[in-house]
A and B are shown apart, each in its own frame.
Chain A
């Protein structure tokens, strides 16, 4: 459904220009989760921004991005707005940058559904409660009435996920959605995101610096370095038979994992 072919991105400054992405090709099939893993400066976030056409003003993207057969790089005005509102949703790293600090959570969710999907305010209010339940929030009414500063980062990120899945978009774009969270909260939010995505049959492009985290929720992973996709494969392939030396370096930088396996034995 999403097909990026030979994407180049050049940022032109006053005196010089810099190539940020070189010949990036990534495919996401319908219902599939695809990881985009790299370190800082690898171009992973810029790839994601190009899909939403939110790359910096002085950037020039060339190549092909097609979403459900539509040429994204040619979109302007209303069709671009509709694509952002309906076909794709984005989950960013920092929920505080997404949520309006002076509006309660209810308003954020209702506004989104009313504007983007044309739901009546009444219907959107009902739906907001259902969505929060879906992302594992217990005191739904209290959270709906809260302002962003009254909730923890993990809770806010669940709200953002609820907003992102509200319109059942075909594609979720997630940019380091759990990087700012504590490890236990990260695991919980990741599990929720994964469950919701599968239930609703959405595809996802997941940007992260954490190869193990990507492997946990993705069907395929692209490893990026310096604006180039150096390797693409299934998580097990990358783990057991990394082809590119950089993939191997990424694997070797983390310990082989702690040996504790009680949970695998099952206390569920």
Chain B
């Protein structure tokens, strides 16, 4: 049996809001594994806990209880800097909005170069060549290295973010709504790029999304989350064609597609089934 690229066991996280009323359970004993070289999509709506899950896996957030292993190594709950740096070499993240994750005053090459400086022993010249190479891999021209983020389109900026993630030469990339802010035609191009990169570099993806129609374009496996729990999991084909949980059925029923009409009666019936 191969070692999973990511193994998450009984992960729980509660956020305490300022008011006396409250605590929100973002994750409730979530367990999942991602096989090396595969793509697992985590699907859910706002408040499902999908982004919290991603942030804990890459170490941007700590869990209350449960464990995360990346490539067989148990990840410490409270990581020190060295540990975080080691993890960053294994696992990288691409966010929804490259506008806010790239410094708008610096040429985009800086973002990629920073990662190379942190994770490699290359000298300045070698790093520049590596940047050119990485840009080529994500479909950008060498002269775009000197561009400011504002001079690039949304799709091009997301390509820079992907190049930055690749710079650490990670085994796993966590993509958090990475195509959600893009126009549909650009979205399709980025999804194609991600699929090609996964195949050519043997990458593993954890793909966080709210959009079921994107799932079938990229993922082998799917988990569906609702209010901090996984309600359904399986192969993409199974979950999309034969959904078992009423919440998955509701998500599918509500996804716009050719010939689709939103129907209040159907939506209401499924909602009642979920709460019963």
Q: Which of A183, A194, A213, A259 contacts B251 (CB 8 A)?
A: A183
Partner of B188, one of A212, A252, A267: A252
Chain A count of residues within 8 A CB distance of the other chain: 40
Give chain B residues whose Cβ lies under 8 Å from the Cβ of A195.
264
Known: A256-B258, A257-B257, A258-B257. A187 touches B267 (CB 8 A): yes
Beta-carbon contact of A253 and B185 below 8 Å: yes
CB < 8 Å neighbour of A259 from B187, B240, B256: B240
- The residue in chain B whose Cβ has the minimal distance to the Cβ of A236 is B259
Interface pairs (23), CB distance under 8 Å: A40-B183, A183-B45, A183-B255, A184-B45, A184-B251, A187-B254, A188-B264, A191-B262, A191-B263, A211-B184, A212-B256, A215-B259, A216-B261, A216-B262, A217-B261, A250-B185, A256-B257, A257-B257, A258-B241, A259-B240, A262-B249, A263-B263, A268-B265
With A216-B262, A254-B213, A262-B249 known as contacts, the answer to whether A184 contacts B254 (CB < 8 A) is yes
Q: Beta-carbon contacts of B210-233 to A below 8 Å, as 1s and 0s?
A: 111100110000000000000000
Q: B250 in the interface, Cβ–Cβ < 8 Å?
A: yes
Report the bound CA distance from A186 to B45 in whole Å: 11
**Contact of A130 with B by CB under 8 A:** no
Contact, CB under 8 Å: B262 / A183: no
Asked whether, in the complex, the Cβ of A187 is within 8 Å of the Cβ of B253, the reply is yes
How many CB-defined contacts (below 8 Å) exist between A and B?
115
Within 8 Å of chain A (Cβ to Cβ): is B276?
A: no
**Is the Cβ of B210 less than 8 Å from the Cβ of A258?**
no
A183-B212, A191-B262, A251-B258 known; 16 other A-B pairs, CB under 8 Å?
A183-B211, A183-B255, A187-B256, A188-B262, A210-B184, A213-B256, A216-B261, A253-B184, A253-B185, A254-B213, A256-B258, A259-B240, A260-B243, A263-B249, A263-B253, A268-B263
Q: A260 vs B187: C-alpha distance in the bound complex, in angstroms? A: 23
At the interface, yes or no: A14 with Cβ under 8 Å from chain B? no
Q: B151: shortest Cβ distance to chain A, in Å?
A: 15
Q: Is the CB of B254 within 8 A of A255?
A: no
- Give residues 89-111 of B contacting A (CB, 8 Å): none
Whether A186 and B183, one on each chain, are in contact in the complex, defined by CB atoms closer than 8 angstroms, is no
A190 contacts partner chain B, Cβ-Cβ < 8 Å: yes
> In the bound complex, do residue B264 and residue A253 qualify as a contact, i.e. CB atoms below 8 Å apart?
no
Quick one: closest A residue to B264, CB to CB? A191
Residue A182 at the B interface, CB < 8 A? Answer: yes
Instruction: Pick the 8 closest A-B CB pairs, nearest first.
Output: A257-B257, A187-B254, A212-B256, A39-B183, A253-B188, A191-B262, A182-B45, A187-B262
Q: Do A258 and B267 form a contact, CB below 8 Å, given A39-B183, A183-B254, A252-B188?
A: no
B118 at the interface (CB under 8 A from A): no
B213 near A255: Cβ-Cβ < 8 Å: yes
Interface of B, secondary structure class, is helix
B17 proximal to A (CB < 8 A): no
Residues of chain B at interface, number, CB under 8 A: 40
Which residue of B154, B185, B240 is within 8 Å of A258 (Cβ)? B240
A210–B216 CB distance below 8 A: no
Report yes or no: A263 in contact with B266, Cβ–Cβ below 8 A: yes
A186 touches B254 (CB 8 A): yes
Chain A residues whose C-beta falls within 8 Å of the C-beta of B2 in the assembled complex = none
Q: Whole-angstrom distance between the alpha carbons of A227 and B222 in the complex?
A: 39
Chain A 183-214: CB-based contact to B (< 8 A → 1; otherwise 0): 11111101110110000000000000111110
Whether B264 pairs with A255 at a CB distance below 8 angstroms is: no
Q: In the complex, A39 Cα to B154 Cα: how many Å?
A: 12
Give Cα A185 to B268, complex, Å: 11
Give B186-199 as 1s and 0s: 1 = Cβ < 8 Å from A's Cβ atoms.
11100000000000
Chain A residue numbers with a CB within 8 Å of B84 are none
Q: How far, in Å, is A95 (CB) from chain B's closest CB?
A: 15
Are A212 and B258 interface neighbours, CB within 8 A? yes
Please judge, given known A-B contacts A187-B267, A191-B262, whether A39 and B212 are in contact too, CB under 8 Å: no
Residues of B within 8 A of A254 (CB): 184, 188, 213, 257
A127 CB–B CB distance under 8 Å: no
- Residues in B with CB closer than 8 Å to A188 are 254, 262, 264, 267
Give the complex CA separation of A253 and B187 in angstroms.
8
- Are A39 and B258 touching (Cβ within 8 A)? no
Q: How far is the CA of A252 from the CA of B217 in the complex (A)?
A: 12
How close is A67's CB to chain B, nearest CB, in angstroms? 28
Q: What separation, in Å, do the CA atoms of A258 and B46 have in the docked complex?
A: 22
Task: Tell me whether A136 is interfacial, beta carbon within 8 Å.
Answer: yes
